[in-house]
Amino acid sequence: MTDVLDSPTVPAAADPRTAWWRQAVVYQVYPRSFADSNGDGTGDLAGLTARVPHLARLGVDAVWMSPFYPSELADGGYDVADHRDVDPRIGTLEQFDELVAALHGAGIRLVVDIVPNHSSDRHPWFRQALAAAPGSPERERYVFRRGRGEHGELPPTDWTATFGGPAWEHVGGGEWYLHLFAPEQPDWNWANPQVREDHLLTLAFWADRGVDGFRVDVAHALTKDLSDPLPSAAELAAGDLPDGAHRFFDRDEVHEVYREWRALFDSYDPPRTAVAEAWVPAHRRARYASPEGLGQAFNFDLLGSPFEARSFRTTVEENLRLAAAAGSSSTWVLSNHDVVRHASRYALPEGADAEAWLLSGGTEPAPDTARGLRRARAATAFLLALPGSTYLYQGEELGLPEVADLPAAALQDPTWLRSGGTRKGRDGCRVPLPWSAQGPSFGFGAGPAHLPQPSWYGPLAVEAQEDDPASTLAFYRRALAERRRLQGPEELTWLEGLPEGVAAFRRPGGWTCLTNFGTGPVALPAGRVVLSSGPIGETLVPGETTVWLEDEPRGGRLDQEGPTR
Ligand code: GLC
């Protein structure tokens, strides 16, 4: 750990009440689409290192880097062929060390993605499993089973994989393996001690290299009950299963795995952090977020919330309560590499299905782009004022909308092909970032980017927004700087009696966040405006706008306007 991180401006990570991750702004980098240093069209570690000054100026506390490991990219790098190396096409271990040093030197922590539910089918252990006989120790590390039918010619069950198509792949001789995601992502057998041991080695490998934390992919999968008889897809989906009784999601014994991981994390000084990507009901999240487990869990509830005051408030109240009960802090997310960017979601009429919109090439229904950005900025400012950690996704600081009209031939996400062209997938939020207004790939690299960038990218580039105080980039920088300055204990008090469509809360230290989710203006409360997500009037907050107000110091406007004493 460098001096910068140990400096008094950064709370000591060892104190669980003030640990850095509890109220951090974590910026997600999808490395192959961030910055390309060698002009091959794919972002790389050196490109990211060169752009650390951008992240420092933005003011983030940590970077979460999506997988950078050797991968055939059957699922954007979430098919990992070697968990303890860097994909040679995007860097080397030495360049990884340089990245850690550059980030730490700028006071930014690094969280890496760990993908423990499955490996790539190129992983040496899977190659060995294929070469070995049914029932061999090599096959025991994965989930192999005999198929149904006289010769095992039918899959063991009718389960469907997440990206579409059957969840079992035939390897010959009536033997099949399970893949909850793409066929190139065989599921590990977590009942196998070698699998457990190997993951501990992986976590220690990166923790020893200075990684500060881990984002745990599909953390609610891993352990499975595959005893006979296996249920049908319809039985699994019936929805009336008691908690923990699903055959492969959110099983109670997965927490034994995380207890082991926690012991390893806590053997480091400072302890390594972890955040679970667990798509589980809110009341089951505490198990992942507890201090004996991973310590924190994503809550994706605001992703599904309409842009509406009551819905935002209810979601926040519930999540603050659940996180506190779990001994953790809450997390807030509006965009990531798996969902349509929030500037585009908010550009659609209420209730519109973002996936169907993508399938129409971004035309049906017609998006209101200006409104989408206005609401996106208002929602982001609301999130950044909350207690807890906010996870930002690369490019949202530029107000990037989804690239919804990627041609079918350019699509990389397995969702597109595996769903038979009925779901477009996630490439539209993974298009490489624009850094400059012109040039091949808008400053991303020296040649065309691996996913085609749209012609309208230029004005959204970092360079084009840099000096414009009204730009989304300037707004994010201001928001993060004010957040850092105003940051206090994890408490909030809602203001009551506000006009319909307005949500507002006060934070310790004397500041208020007010969001006008409606379309008509509302009165601007007293106080000094330190941030607004869009233009505001002297006395009014326009619709779809958030303001942060700091109490006037004694003798200021508040005192003058208040009752005489
Ligand atoms: C997670 C990742 C997603 C990936 C999947 C399988 O949901 O966020 O991108 O496809 O896991 O690893």
- The pLDDT score that the predictor gives to residue 562 is 36
Separation of CA 561 and ligand 1 centre (Å)? 54
Atom of ligand 1 nearest to the CA of 75: 10
Given this model, what pLDDT does residue 244 score? 86
The whole-number pLDDT of residue 16 equals 56
**Token pair recorded at residue 199:** 């993951």
**Which atom of ligand 1 lies nearest, measured to the CA of 338?**
9
Atom of ligand 1 nearest to the CA of 117: 12
Residues with C-beta less than 6 Å from any ligand 1 atom: 75, 78, 115, 181, 217-218, 277, 337-338
Residue nearest to atom 7 of ligand 1 (CA): 218
Predicted structure pTM score: 0.95
| Amino acid 14: pLDDT | 47
Distance between CA atoms of residues 183 and 170, nearest Å? 10
- DSSP per-residue codes, 216-274: ETTTT-S----PSSPPPHHHHHTS-PPTT-SSSSS-TTHHHHHHHHHHHHHTSSSPPEE
Confidence of residue 245 (pLDDT cuts 50, 70, 90): confident
Neighbour-count burial for 173-188, b at 16+ CB within 10 Å, e otherwise: ebbbbbbbbbbbbbbb
| 268-277, 425-434, 480-489, 552-561, range with the lowest pLDDT | 552-561
Mean pLDDT (whole number) for 346-363: 96
Probe residue for ligand 1, chosen from 111, 123, 338 as the CB with the greatest number of ligand atoms within 8 Å: 338
pLDDT band at 563 (very low <50, low <70, confident <90, very high): very low
Q: Please report the atom of ligand 1 found closest to the CA of residue 181.
A: 6
Residue 404 has pLDDT above 80, yes or no: yes
The pLDDT assigned to 437 comes to: 97
User: What is the pLDDT averaged over residues 415-430?
Assistant: 96
pLDDT, averaged across the chain: 94
Query: What does the pLDDT read at residue 366?
Result: 97
- Taking the CA atoms of 538, 541, 547 and 553 in sequence, report the sign of the dihedral they define: positive
- Packing angle, helices 193-208 and 254-266, rounded to 10: 30
Nearest CA to ligand 1 atom 2: 217
pLDDT tier for residue 555 given thresholds of 50, 70 and 90: low
Distance 356 CA to ligand 1 centre (A): 20
Q: Are 104 and 49 in contact (CB under 8 A)?
A: no
Mean pLDDT along residues 524-550:
97
Q: Taking the chain, what is the end-to-end CA distance rounded to the nearest angstrom?
A: 53
Q: How far apart are CA 246 and CA 229, in angstroms?
A: 14
Stretch 536-551: mean pLDDT, rounded?
A: 97
Residue 376's pLDDT band (boundaries 50, 70, 90)?
very high
Residue 244 burial class via C-beta count within 10 angstroms: exposed 0-12, middle 13-18, buried 19 and up = middle
- Cα(337) to centroid of ligand 1, in Å? 9
Compute the CA torsion angle 296, 301, 303, 304 (nearest 10 deg). 160
